Structure 1
């Protein structure tokens, strides 16, 4: 796959829109902020107050996610992940500030928040949220539910980034443009990160990088063969992964090649 950064951004927005947890968190935020009524909005009737903050929360979240994702995709190959997220968040905060100003201009005779403060607060808040989002996905491991073996608690951190239905035994990682395709015995999912960072989250699974774009779990390799002068690893799901010359010796040391 060779999608453009814009196509990858749209895909990320679609994924967020389909995530019920995102909508649940936004609903709670809208109700809480609407009930509190900060920045002089408490003078509004409760239904109008909740409606106003719902418009602010949903629209700014969508805009910030789109801008931050696009900028992160552009910056991650050039900068450390956390720095890329920080800059992306700060940049995303600027259009968010102007969006809030526009909404206030339509709804109120005078803005509830000083525009200068908006231009300071929005980038700072977006920066903090963006940096936190670079750490939170792998901050905790999935907890076993009733009837699951305790070993599930030791699953590699990379699995926490996947939708629940794709979390299974890790088979391989493959680069897909700016994404890493995380492949398990229950399917696969794209994660926005670098391959080196993804490999760092395979703790607990014996594996090996066999190509600049591929990592495989040793237990997932069914057989090895040669094709057109190249070494190929066939995984248990039928997927074929090439072994580049750089990694031939390491692959032989792991017993993956004859």
Structure 2
């Protein structure tokens, strides 16, 4: 969609001296120029994310993706321009002009794609007294009754890091204790009592590795360790947890009643 929008805008503006051509003709030209570049950008960005070597360095990642896209895409644009409008000769100056133009456009579109990217929308499971996944709390709130069964005691120590998470972290953090997990773009920030770092993993996969008694998914983008909780309170109409080390974590409206019932405050 971003590529189509960019093609339409460039066609309307008649960018790069294409304004003399009929609108439909230049729209077709820009679609042939932008859309292959967008697909190439998606493929390269996916590969860079899977590599993970630039995790946490957003602007470096954007620059690297834009450069990797612009090199092959420059020649695609030259071919498309030659077919639609003709080029007298492909000289180093022509390649340099198109290369710089393509790089600028690639930087803009890569930045837009990166900033528009959000963690995949994953439903937050409603915690029930035994820690199992239940019906959404919004649907059950009107009929919610505190359980008469005794609640399990809150863990007194922070959980250890699951092996599949620990092996993705720097050595200095692998033996640390887990405080919270936060989604950041395509990554997860693992907060521990020895510091934090990013790993490439989905929130649902990380939560599946953790014992049910260790904590809960308190927000779409947050998991919190039960033993790290210091307070659960409302501030300016929004609920949030204060965790060990002063970390504050938002609590979704769907989870608030259930957490209170389990004694998180």
- Bigger CA radius of gyration: 2
What is the TM-score normalised by the length of structure 1? 0.46
What is the TM-score normalised by the length of structure 2? 0.45
Higher relative contact order (CA 8 A, sep 6+): 2
Specify which structure has the higher proportion of helix: 1
